[in-house]
Amino acid sequence: MRAPYQVLVIPFVLKEHGIEYCIFKRSDMGYWQAVAGGGEMGETPEQSARREVFEETGLGEDCRLIRLDSITSLPVVHVVGHFLWGEKMFVIPEYAFGLEVYDQKLNLSKEHTAYKWASYEEAVSALKWDSNKTALWELHTRLNSINSLKENYDKL
């Protein structure tokens, strides 16, 4: 049974020239987004994120999952089309994650017609939803802060 929350997962790969992020073109509406899907009862958001990314891309357990602080509220009717959890639940949370990928070849599900690896600038300009853009900004800023700290530490 569907749990009253959504997950958003942004795969990324660290390259010598910088970070690349993976975005996906939806087969039903044609816009670009991160991996998104619903939780199932009994799952934690982390478990849901791993399951959704495996179902939509084939990526496995060996990838490092990073829980982001970005959380947004989504209208229930935009997610499931009706008041699945009762007429008093109007919005559900969407929890965001980054996923460090080591293999850039993905096996897409039928939910998407294409994927592309892109720079931050290219990805953020292609994404449709503000929640995706905010999560991408947070992930990008965190990863660059970590890299900056490592570089400064190495200089000591």
Q: What is the CATH number of the domain that holds 47?
A: 3.90.79.10
Residue 151 lies in a domain: no
Q: What is the three-class DSSP state of 122?
A: helix
Residue 93 lies in a domain: yes
Residue 120 lies in a domain: yes
pLDDT in tens, 57-102: 999 778 999 999 999 999 998 888 888 888 889 999 999 999 999 8
Q: What is the rounded distance in angstroms from the CA atom of residue 102 to the CA atom of residue 132?
A: 22
Do 139 and 98 meet the contact criterion of CB atoms below 8 Å apart?
Answer: yes
Q: How many domains does the chain have?
A: 1
Residue 156 lies in a domain: no
* Residues in CB range of 46: below 8 A, 6 or more apart: 65, 67, 97
Q: What is the three-class DSSP state of 109?
A: coil
Q: Is the pLDDT of residue 155 over 60?
A: no
Average of per-residue pLDDT across 115-142: 97
Residue 153 lies in a domain: no
Range of the domain at 33: 2-146
Residue 33 lies in a domain: yes
Residue 152 lies in a domain: no
What pTM, to 2 d.p., does this model score? 0.91
Q: What is the rounded distance in angstroms from the CA atom of residue 42 to the CA atom of residue 1?
A: 9
Average of per-residue pLDDT across 129-156: 80
Residue 132 lies in a domain: yes
